[in-house]
Structure 1
Amino acid sequence: MDLQDQLKNLFPDHKPTVSETKEDSNDKIWLQDDPIICKYEKRKGKPITILEGYTGATEDFKKLAKELKTKLSVGGSFKDDKIIIQGDYRDKIMSMLKDKGFNVKRVGG
């Protein structure tokens, strides 16, 4: 029995509003026809993976960045319409993006 069922038992007359229902944020990310470019660089001797070329909303790209960082359990940032992931995770990132339906192009190395 989850929390929603417990609340229904405690308050049977309550009708949940639209804001109280769960929404899946993965389905709301806009998919583009152009490929996202996945690059590998070294900065100060440390490897990083850079994703760029997303033409949708900035908020969608930030959500994608957060999801990638959590799934890979690594650090990173979002700057200048680029996702910067610490480490060389090109293969894993490319497979994740392809599963979501994006076109991905590997650049460098």
Structure 2
Amino acid sequence: MTKKKLNSFSGLVFSTNPEMMREEEPEAQETLPPAQQKLKVKLDRKQRAGKTVTLVEGFSGSEEALEELGKKLKTKCGAGGSAKDGLILIQGDYKLKVTEWLKDWGYSQTKMV
């Protein structure tokens, strides 16, 4: 039996049109000042193998500002976590501490859920 050699370009389409592959850049979202942010802090265990995580929801602003706030909170808690899509996730039960820190940092409309 003979083996067929597959072309390394199989399935690719080439075009000479410069507009074809141009991607639109997403608009940079303006970060609101802390006093105008409406953040919600809650605990969650769903789909996390029974482990508790603290969620901070409702951040509106740039991804860089979200990452910075997430890093500050994770450092203060001494825990791991992530920050993306307007949501900060911190491993462990830090609901009261996170709420206090956010209020100290000027996030006046913070709610515990």
**Fold match by TM threshold 0.5:** yes
Q: How does the TM-score come out when normalised to structure 1?
A: 0.67
- Residue identity over aligned pairs, in percent, reads 41
Residue segments in structure 2 that go unaligned for 5+ positions in a row: 1-30
CA distance in 1 between counterparts of 2:85 and 2:65 reads 14
1:74 aligns with 2:79: yes
Total equivalences in the alignment: 80
CA distance in 2 between counterparts of 1:55 and 1:70 reads 21
Give 1:1-109 correspondences, 5 Å limit. Answer: 30-42=33-45, 43-102=48-107, 103-107=109-113
Letter in 1 for 2:36: D
- Deviation string 1:31-88 (CA, Å, 9 cap, x unpaired) is 2424201111112110001111011222111100001111111010113221100001
Flag the 1:34–1:80 CA change in 2: closer, same or farther, 3 A: closer
Letter in 2 for 1:31: P
Q: Which has the higher strand share?
A: 1
Which runs of 4 or more aligned residues in structure 1 lie more than 3 Å from their structure 2 counterparts after TM superposition?
A: none
Which structure's CA Rg is the greater one?
Answer: 2
Give SS of 1:46's match: coil
Q: How does the TM-score come out when normalised to structure 2?
A: 0.64
